[in-house]
Structure 1
Amino acid sequence: MGLEQRTLTVPALVVMIIAASAPLTAVAGGVTTNYAVTGMDSVPLSFLLIGAVLLVFSVGYTAMSRHIPNAGAFYAYVAEGLGKALGVGAAMVALVSYNLMQIGIYGMFGFAASSFSNGLMGTSIPWWVMALVAWVVVGFLGMNRVDFSVKILGFVVAAEFLVVIIYNIMAFSLAPEAPQPEAAFNLGDAVAPGMGAVMAFTIAAFMGFESGTIYNEEVKDPKRTARRATMIAIIIIACFYAFSAFAVAVGEGASNVMGSTAEFGPDLLFVFFSAHTPAWFVDLANVLFITSLFAALLAFHNVIARYFYSMGRGGALPKFLARTSRTTHAPVAGSLAQSLLAVVVILVFAVISTGKDPMYIVFTMFTWMTNSAAYGLVLLMALTSFAVIGYFIRHRTKDSVFTRVIAPLLSGIALIYVFAQIVVNFDLLLGMEEPGMLGYILQAIVILPGLIGWALALFMRSRTPNAEPDQDILPVVSTSQH
């Protein structure tokens, strides 16, 4: 039994994509950290630049979804475009990266939920208790119909947008200095020293935008839904985050934004609300910050469950991972596998963090894992860009030259540049003042499974030397059919 329910519409898929990017978390955490660490005024511009790159990327990427309707997305496209062995490697990198992203968010969720609850009720609940509560709920929802998750995520995402919009309005209304759009959106800064670090931080806020094609077996119109939803989501994320990043600079004052973000970090928005709004609104904003993290947990869980399903169906992982529910059609085996991985990591960090400062879990589990995930996903996007070109060279279609060659080539070059910036600034992303072994270890955790998968696939192919060039000698690449 497959995933085919055909219930997801364009608006529903847009909600799923935006939920993964966690708007309130991205603005409160990502934007403020970007200002504080890089010291660049052009953080708002970086969202428009990255948004433009990802829009160009999505032209070829979503075109592939019309020809390869597979829940494995990245790995299925790389397999078809650059070869089956490389597809196996991409599959492993994708699975590790998405799990790092999802599980890392449990650290921030646990910290935020326990801090808020303890401050409100005077308790001393540890972070991991709250993380396990979220883990139970996410696991339950992950085994139910995907449109049920959409209803919950829709409410959460709408509330997040509302809070950030209120902040933006107040920031402009109470601005201590005149706004300086010429500094925030100076195109000359696109090639300025330091802009690479800004982009390395910024692209992390978009992670999850590519998940639209993963649901292509569950949308009402496989030819159009994923394409439209992905592009709409990118435009919304890029424009909304750019304006909100500018609002942060306006609300604090251009001359003070670096100092304020360095002092308060992710608490900056809540400090601002504390000074200008009633206490109940501050509490509400905190609750929505927590639900924003929960929405991202659920969105990424659904993505990973479908990756397990697709890889199990294709043969890259044990076949039992391709099992779906007879009643909900959800990939229950994949959902359970992701939940098992998550609980193991939560419990390990629960032991490690015992007796340490509450922020320890944010600086380690959250920061290490989510930035490592961004590293892997940007690499996969660059590979996928060239895979698009490879696929269309081998398959004659009615797609335009821009779709088949120009757009993927431009996005591939741009994404290689962004990936290089992530590598160069990786220690900075981890919050380390000097390069150290930690950065190399975390990058290896992402890359090594891919190299091992690629090498094993090549070994398997070498054992069938008489196979035809286009013969399916690697079981993983049952990509086009289900």
Structure 2
Amino acid sequence: MTESSAEPGTATGGALDRRRLGVSSITLMIIAASAPLTVIAGGVPTSLAVSGSLGVPFGYIVLAVILLVFAVGYAAMSRFVTNAGAFYAYIAQGISRIAGVGSSLVALVCYNAMQVGIFALFGFTISDWLGTRFGITTPWWLWVGLGIIAVGILGVNRVDLSAKVLGVLVALEFVAVIVFDVVSFVAQPEGVTIAPLAPSSLFAPGIGVVLAFGVAAFMGFESAAIYAEEAKDPARTIPRATYLAVVVAGVFYALSSWAMIVGVGPSAAVAQSQELGPGLLFAFLGEHVGVVVTDIVHILFITSLFAALQSFHNAVARYFFSLGREGVLPRWLGSVRASSHAPWAGSVTQTVIAIVVTLGFVIAGASSDDPLFPVLTMFTWLTNTGAMGLVLLMAIVGIAVIGFFRRDARGVSVWVRLVAPVVGTVLLTVLLVLILANFDMMLGQEESNLLTWVLPAIVVLPGVAGMIWAVVLRRRDPATYARIGHSVEDPDRVA
């Protein structure tokens, strides 16, 4: 490992910290990205309010099944491809290097959008809670700034430190939601009904909205492969973590959204969600268990957001690292700290992006009197755009899986290398169409305007630019082009 003269204590072209993460660590980092408590407190009431459908619980089951089908080929490919670039490497090896570079920039935009968008909700939630609970007035951006610093510090340290922090936070989230579930089933003002778990509850008007909103709750599940170079046994750890994350999240979201409907009462669930929004969970707990427990859950809601921020930050840092190491982006992005082997350059770059984007929204909202400005703009616009782009990438990865195994089946069954990827790609394409069809509604707009087209363009145009750049690299630097998506060969992978 060669020390970088530009940055003492760092190494350019070094490796990530190998063999640090097991199945449980990676699974917790995946689940942290979706922020379970945030999904139940924010995603479920929003989906109920906008769709008017009680089929939200069954919707999570349907989405989990779709993602499990996609994961069959995705997990199989992870046994043979070990690269922190994940989607980028899969598409480069399964379709083409040009498509791989294009997808890498789309992934960077999407993961950054998800991470920076969540910062807005993080800052607003702390500011709002301090104001309503203690009468302390603070600007939302102050807490965003402090959050960026904390996330950045963890990002440049050893990955197992982040895993431990996220593990504790996710465990506390689960406890908080389980408490809510128990209280809901005890309250049951209209009795316990299994109707929200029946297919008939979903396959009715509003199904498109339920699925479009619901898929965002799973974003991050695909990030297991990003940690392949740091996994103890990537050929086994990555598939197991991917499957476990989808199953746990799907069951947990279905059960907890069902509990919310039972606790509030099926006849009142939609109306209460429309009236209270994310405040529904806290109002319910305040009524049934008191202020102290509600405050604790509110704090855990904030830490839930922090866990998601850290998880997406780690993903972005590793994408930058992979692309810098292979020369697709400036090579200094491939630098790691000598002490922690963390991708410090990618981490710092993501931190700078978060600061710049946040400042842009702070300046834009300076003249707004609406306290919800950061939520209605920065959070809503960026997270929905990021989720849309990640669904697009997953559909493309499904095609890449087919291409990868077409040249060499590697002893993999037809179901794994062909049938499941085809079915998964079709279902993900349907999801993407549903998201686009309901995009105005997801942005809180009554009709299409310039924003309806600008936000998807922010995802697509970098992909086009990346493909053009790959063509340039092929002509200008054939050696660098040859390494695209192929730079890591793990001796322990399944051959």
Q: Quickly name the TM-score band, shorter chain normalised.
A: over 0.9
Which of these residues, 98, 109, 132, is aligned with residue 119 of structure 1?
132
State the Cα distance separating 1:153 from its structure 2 match.
1.0
Contact 2:56 2:202 in 1 (8 A): no
State the Cα distance separating 1:118 from its structure 2 match.
2.7
Task: Figure out how many residues of one structure are paired with residues of the other and give that number.
Answer: 476
Cross-structure match for 1:397:
410
Q: Distance in 1 between matches of 2:278 and 2:62?
A: 23
Partner SS for 1:6: coil
Q: Distance in 1 between matches of 2:210 and 2:482?
A: 40
Which of these residues, 38, 61, 67, is aligned with residue 54 of structure 1?
67
Q: Distance in 2 between matches of 1:267 and 1:463?
A: 56
State the Cα distance separating 1:46 from its structure 2 match.
0.7
Cross-structure match for 1:230:
242
What letter corresponds to residue 478 of structure 1 in structure 2? H
Q: Verify: 1:267 aligned to 2:279, yes or no.
A: yes
Q: Which runs of 5+ in 1 are unaligned?
A: none
Cross-structure match for 1:476:
484
Which of these residues, 237, 241, 254, is aligned with residue 253 of structure 2?
241
Cross-structure match for 1:144:
157
Q: Distance in 1 between matches of 2:192 and 2:378?
A: 37
Contact 1:385 1:412 in 2 (8 A): yes
Q: Distance in 1 between matches of 2:274 and 2:426?
A: 33
State the Cα distance separating 1:461 from its structure 2 match.
4.1
Cross-structure match for 2:267:
255
Deviations 1:261-304 (A, max 9, x none): 00000010000011112211111111000000000000100010
Q: Distance in 2 between matches of 1:274 and 1:189?
A: 29
Q: Distance in 2 between matches of 1:15 and 1:481?
A: 26
Q: Distance in 2 between matches of 1:124 and 1:339?
A: 26
Contact 2:169 2:307 in 1 (8 A): yes
What letter corresponds to residue 228 of structure 1 in structure 2? R
Cross-structure match for 1:297:
309
Contact 1:88 1:316 in 2 (8 A): yes
Partner SS for 2:229: coil
Q: Distance in 1 between matches of 2:232 and 2:475?
A: 41
State the Cα distance separating 1:457 from its structure 2 match.
2.3
Partner SS for 2:468: helix
Partner SS for 1:411: helix
What letter corresponds to residue 335 of structure 1 in structure 2? S
What letter corresponds to residue 361 of structure 2 in structure 1? F
Q: Distance in 1 between matches of 2:125 and 2:484?
A: 40
**1:11-90 maps to which residues of 2 (within 5 A)?**
11-90=24-103
Q: Distance in 1 between matches of 2:203 and 2:257?
A: 19
Greater displacement, 274-283 / 114-123: 114-123
Contact 2:31 2:245 in 1 (8 A): yes
State the Cα distance separating 1:460 from its structure 2 match.
4.6
Greater displacement, 198-207 / 150-159: 150-159
State the Cα distance separating 1:78 from its structure 2 match.
0.7
What letter corresponds to residue 295 of structure 1 in structure 2? A
Q: Distance in 1 between matches of 2:342 and 2:476?
A: 36
**1:31-430 maps to which residues of 2 (within 5 A)?**
31-182=44-195, 184-189=196-201, 191-354=203-366, 355-430=368-443
State the Cα distance separating 1:251 from its structure 2 match.
1.0
The verdict on how the C-alpha distance between 1:332 and 1:75 changes in structure 2, with shifts beyond 3 A counting, is: same
Partner SS for 2:369: coil
Deviations 1:398-437 (A, max 9, x none): 1111111111111000000000101111111111111211
Contact 2:98 2:470 in 1 (8 A): yes
What letter corresponds to residue 193 of structure 2 in structure 1? Q
Deviations 1:186-225 (A, max 9, x none): 2245543421221110000000001111101001111100
Q: Distance in 2 between matches of 1:190 and 1:40?
A: 7
Partner SS for 1:324: strand
What letter corresponds to residue 407 of structure 2 in structure 1? R
Contact 1:75 1:88 in 2 (8 A): yes
Partner SS for 1:67: coil
Contact 1:18 1:208 in 2 (8 A): yes
Q: Distance in 1 between matches of 2:463 and 2:390?
A: 12
What letter corresponds to residue 205 of structure 1 in structure 2? A
State the Cα distance separating 1:451 from its structure 2 match.
1.2
Deviations 1:100-151 (A, max 9, x none): 0000001000000111223344221100000101110000000001111111
Q: Distance in 2 between matches of 1:102 and 1:312?
A: 21
Contact 1:175 1:250 in 2 (8 A): yes
Partner SS for 2:444: coil
Contact 2:361 2:378 in 1 (8 A): yes
Work out the percentage of aligned pairs sharing the same amino acid.
Answer: 46
Contact 1:385 1:408 in 2 (8 A): yes
The verdict on how the C-alpha distance between 1:475 and 1:220 changes in structure 2, with shifts beyond 3 A counting, is: closer
Contact 2:327 2:480 in 1 (8 A): no
What letter corresponds to residue 171 of structure 2 in structure 1? A
State the Cα distance separating 1:479 from its structure 2 match.
4.3
* CA root-mean-square deviation: 1.6
Contact 1:179 1:254 in 2 (8 A): no
What letter corresponds to residue 22 of structure 2 in structure 1? T
